[in-house]
């Protein structure tokens, strides 16, 4: 399971494309299949897109072709033709669009635009926005964008670039994060604040749900749109996706994860000698569990950071070896002991099952598997590439059946109420938790299917 994209933009700096390239490194965890940077020199846009990691997609000479004082970019998923930023010309100019999220009515709008004569170059749903912008009536770009966005439904955090401006937009529900920073006289937009830290930029604030910020040489302007839509910030950003050194939706991710772990220990205590994390995204939750349960935390599982993408093998035996490529147990920590293993989430359950086999083979006497989020029972249609209903281990299985499948002595998931309280405090409103509850904040006329979204990437272990 992965986020589909991280977006970044900077405007008003002479080294815009270099800084963007560095910012992309900080957002690499949000998408590894491909990346692109578009820059402006004030007259025209220049673009470079390539598949692979940020370290693979750019060379020193690439930046000679990305001149100027503004840039936007993504690290995300997709085939070469679907990589962002999407570059499009319309009657009054050129626009480059970087989009994090998914539109639940993209298919309907796509058909409508095609019926009216639009020719699509990609299969990414954000291209719909570009075609709607081209057809919009207002004379100014901001007005065109807002008219286009009044037609789309779903999740979008956008960074748009034209020759003379950068525009950051968050959908009225605020599903995906987008923060605003300042570096000297330049304004920066990023999916996560860790990208600002890397540049030594100051974190200013979140772009608010239903806000459009426009940056030009004259400074920054803001406009509101979307009426009184309810806030629906993705709870999974705090559970798993965002980096622990980031702020997401204005809250420190590490601090939230420690609270999730503490709450998990209160809800599902265990008699054990040691607590260990499934590294790295569960480290803070395991620390919280250990602190609350007063059981020592040790590094019982080690992750190999040098393994990139691994292609799934048809045979179960080779799939297990795929997990072993990434993780191994520390026998001295595990052997003869009763262990609590804390993971942030369980989606298909196949990785958990292989991991627990590794822990068992390292000599664990008992394994108490604890999950710092509730069972994932529903797919996400708002920008997270998640398995279908049939592939989710918690869909139509009892807790006992999941425990048996994963192969552990006890299993405890955090409750939905506990998760919401740990993330958002006493007022738990304002979050999307649809993949746990099935309560989708934005519905659709025709149920979106996986084929509506970009899924051309290889399956991963």
Which DSSP string do the residues of 237-287 spell out, in sequence order? Answer: IIIIIS-TTSEETTEEHHHHHHHHHHHHHHHS----SEEEE-TTTTHHHHH
12: left (phi over 0), alpha (psi -120 to 50) or beta: left
Query: Which one, 23 or 101, has the nearer CB to ligand SF4?
Result: 101
Note whether 419 binds ligand SF4 by CB under 6 A: no
Out of 148, 334, 384, 394, name the contact with ligand SF4 by CB under 6 A.
384
Out of 156, 175, 327, 453, name the contact with ligand SF4 by CB under 6 A.
175
Q: Among all chains, which residue has been given the structure tokens 């900077």?
A: 10
Binders of ligand SF4 among 233-272, rule CB under 6 A? 234-236
Note whether 19 binds ligand SF4 by CB under 6 A: no
Out of 7, 432, 442, 461, name the contact with ligand SF4 by CB under 6 A.
432
Query: Which one, 387 or 407, has the nearer CB to ligand SF4?
Result: 387
Q: Of 5, 38, 179, 234, which residue is the catalytic one? A: 5
5 included as an active-site residue: yes
What distance in Å separates the CA atoms of residue 96 and residue 88, rounded to the nearest whole number? 6
Neighbours of 218 (CB within 10 A): 8
**Nearest partner of 217 among 169, 163, 164, judged by Cα:** 164
β-bridge mates for residue 384, sequence order: 3
Query: Which one, 188 or 347, has the nearer CB to ligand SF4?
Result: 347
What distance in Å separates the CA atoms of residue 152 and residue 21, rounded to the nearest whole number? 30
Binders of ligand SF4 among 361-380, rule CB under 6 A? 380
Q: How far is the CB of 68 from ligand SF4 (least distance, A)?
A: 34
Alpha-helical segments (H) within 270-395: 283-293, 316-326, 331-334, 350-361
Contacts of 341 (CB under 8 A, 6+ apart): 276, 277, 278, 300, 301, 355, 356, 359, 367, 368, 369, 370, 408
Q: How far is the CB of 244 from ligand SF4 (least distance, A)?
A: 17
Query: Which one, 189 or 384, has the nearer CB to ligand SF4?
Result: 384
Measured on CA atoms in the order 423, 193, 124, 54, is the torsion positive or negative? Answer: negative
Query: Which one, 12 or 210, has the nearer CB to ligand SF4?
Result: 210
Looking at 14-22, 232-240, 293-301, 342-350, which segment touches ligand SF4 (CB under 6 A)? 232-240
Note whether 435 binds ligand SF4 by CB under 6 A: yes
**β-strands 157-162, 165-170: how paired?**
antiparallel
Query: Which one, 264 or 293, has the nearer CB to ligand SF4?
Result: 264
Binders of ligand SF4 among 201-220, rule CB under 6 A? none
Contacts of 266 (CB under 8 A, 6+ apart): 292, 418
Q: How far is the CB of 424 from ligand SF4 (least distance, A)?
A: 12
Angle subtended at Cα 315 by Cα 342 and Cα 320, rounded to the nearest 5 degrees: 25
* One character per residue 320-359, x = contact with ligand SF4 (rule: CB under 6 A): ----------------------------------------
- What are the residue numbers of the active site? 5
Q: Which residues bind ligand SF4 (CB under 6 A)?
A: 175, 234-236, 380, 382, 384, 432-435
């Amino acid at each position: 399971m992965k986020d589909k994209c991280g977006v970044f933009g900077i405007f008003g700096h002479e080294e815009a494309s270099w800084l963007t390239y560095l910012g992309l490194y900080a957002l690499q965890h949000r998408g590894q299949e491909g990346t692109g940077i578009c820059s402006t020199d004030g007259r025209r846009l220049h673009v470079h897109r390539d598949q692979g990691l940020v370290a693979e997609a750019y060379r020193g000479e690439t930046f000679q072709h990305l001149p100027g004082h503004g840039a936007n970019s993504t690290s995300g998923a997709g085939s070469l033709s679907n990589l962002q930023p999407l570059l499009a010309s319309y009657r009054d100019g050129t626009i480059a669009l970087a989009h994090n999220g998914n539109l639940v009515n993209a298919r309907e709008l796509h058909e409508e635009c095609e019926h009216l004569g639009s020719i699509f170059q990609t299969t990414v749903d954000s291209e719909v926005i570009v075609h709607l912008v081209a057809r919009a009536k207002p004379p100014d770009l901001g007005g065109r964008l807002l008219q286009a966005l009044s037609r789309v439904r779903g999740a979008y955090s956008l960074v748009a670039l034209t020759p003379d401006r950068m525009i950051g937009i968050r959908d009225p529900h605020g599903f995906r994060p987008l923060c605003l920073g300042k570096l000297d006289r330049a304004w920066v937009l990023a999916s996560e604040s860790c990208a600002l830290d890397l540049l030594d930029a100051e974190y200013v604030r979140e772009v608010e749900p239903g806000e459009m910020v426009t940056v030009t040489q004259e400074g920054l302007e803001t406009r509101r749109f979307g009426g009184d839509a309810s806030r629906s910030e993705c709870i999974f950003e705090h559970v798993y996706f965002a980096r622990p050194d980031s702020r997401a939706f204005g809250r420190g991710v590490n601090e939230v994860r420690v609270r999730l772990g503490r709450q998990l220990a209160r809800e599902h205590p265990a008699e054990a000698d040691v607590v260990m994390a499934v590294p790295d995204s569960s480290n803070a939750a395991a620390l919280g569990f250990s602190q609350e349960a007063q059981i020592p935390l040790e590094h019982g599982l080690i992750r190999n950071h040098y393994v990139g993408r691994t292609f799934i093998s048809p045979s179960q035996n080779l799939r297990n070896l795929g997990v072993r490529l990434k993780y191994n147990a520390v026998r001295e920590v595990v052997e003869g002991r009763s262990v609590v293993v804390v993971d942030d989430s369980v989606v298909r359950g196949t990785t958990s099952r292989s991991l627990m086999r590794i822990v068992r083979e390292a000599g664990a006497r008992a394994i108490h598997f604890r999950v710092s989020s509730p069972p994932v029972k529903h797919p996400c249609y708002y920008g997270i590439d998640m398995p279908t209903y049939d592939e989710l281990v918690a869909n139509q299985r009892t807790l006992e059946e999941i425990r048996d499948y994963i192969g552990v002595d006890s299993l405890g998931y955090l409750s939905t109420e506990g998760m919401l309280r740990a993330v958002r405090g006493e007022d738990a409103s304002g979050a999307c938790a649809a993949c746990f509850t099935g309560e989708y904040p934005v519905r659709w006329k025709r149920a979106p299917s996986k084929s509506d979204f970009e899924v051309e990437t290889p399956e991963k272990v």
